Structure 1
Amino acid sequence: MTRVTGIGGIFIKAKDPEMLQNWYKKHLGIDVQAWGGTSFKWVDGERKPYAGTTAWMIGNGENFAPSESPFMVNYRVDNLPGLLTALHAEGCNVLDKTEESEFGKFAWVIDPEGNKVELWEPPLGE
């Protein structure tokens, strides 16, 4: 079974999210949107777009709980239910909460260092 297929997003916890968002916008040219981040579109070696995005966001980190880490990585997966079954069988600390929306299916696991990891199965064609 294929597990992780790429990085779906990077989320950064900040003491002052608005200030840090503005810094990244001004100094690195990242198009920070009203929701606190941006979606980088995927391109091939010839810079031609193809399906897929990677989210990047700065916020207050409330959604990182129970982790106290200043970041959370979102990994794209092909088969979230199958992966969760495998992770449970392997004794991983899989959180009970899952979500499904127009953005896809989400679940979380805590790694051995206490970092919350987000698993995301995007909608078909994304």
Structure 2
Amino acid sequence: MAKVTGIGGVFLRARNPTRLAEWYRRHLGVPMSDGAAVTFHWTSDETTTFALFAQDTDYFGEPGQHAMLNLRVDDLAALLDQLRASGVEVLPDAEESEFGLFGWCVDPEGNRIELWQPAPGM
């Protein structure tokens, strides 16, 4: 059975991502980049990214969704098949990039969840 193996990222919408990134840097010591993101490296092959997105991003799906989880998975294709077979809403588009494979599902509350099968070495 395919499954989630960790949290790949936490993404927040922000009215002003640059200003909010500065707040996280100054007040919490989070080493946010100029692009309003940081990747924490827990082990050589385990990372978690915290990123801020513009308020009007369509990456999260519905405008009312203020945060999106990125969950690391061991077999994206198999997990998406399992979810579909269980009646879970799986979004039709999947993506492949240098970072790995990405797919999305929607939980019962309407929150889009990003599923990520990392590329080897990530």
TM category (shorter chain) comes to: over 0.9
Residues 81-92 of structure 1: matches in 2 within 5 Å?
A: 81-92=77-88
Paired position in structure 2 for 1:4: 4
Aligned partners of 2:53 and 2:96: how far apart in 1?
A: 21
TM-score by length of 1: 0.90
Which residue, out of 102, 107, 110, partners 1:111? 107
Q: Tell me, yes or no, if the aligned pair for 1:8 and 1:53 is still in contact at 8 Å.
A: yes
Q: Distance in 2 between matches of 1:20 and 1:94?
A: 31
The alpha-carbon deviation at position 2 of structure 1 amounts to: 3.6
Secondary structure of 1:6's counterpart equals strand
Matched residue count: 120
- Which portions of structure 1, spanning 4 or more consecutive aligned residues, are displaced by more than 2 angstroms? none
C-alpha distance in 1 between matches for 2:36 and 2:100: 20
Matches within 5 A, 1:93-112: 93-112=89-108
Q: Mind listing any 5+ residue stretches in structure 1 that lack a counterpart? A: 43-48
Instruction: Report sequence identity in percent.
Output: 43
Residue pair 1:39, 1:54 contacting (<8 A) in 2 also: yes
Could you say what the CA RMSD is over the residues aligned between the two structures, in angstroms? Answer: 1.2
Give structure 2 stretches of 5+ with no counterpart.
Answer: none
TM-score where L is the length of structure 2: 0.93
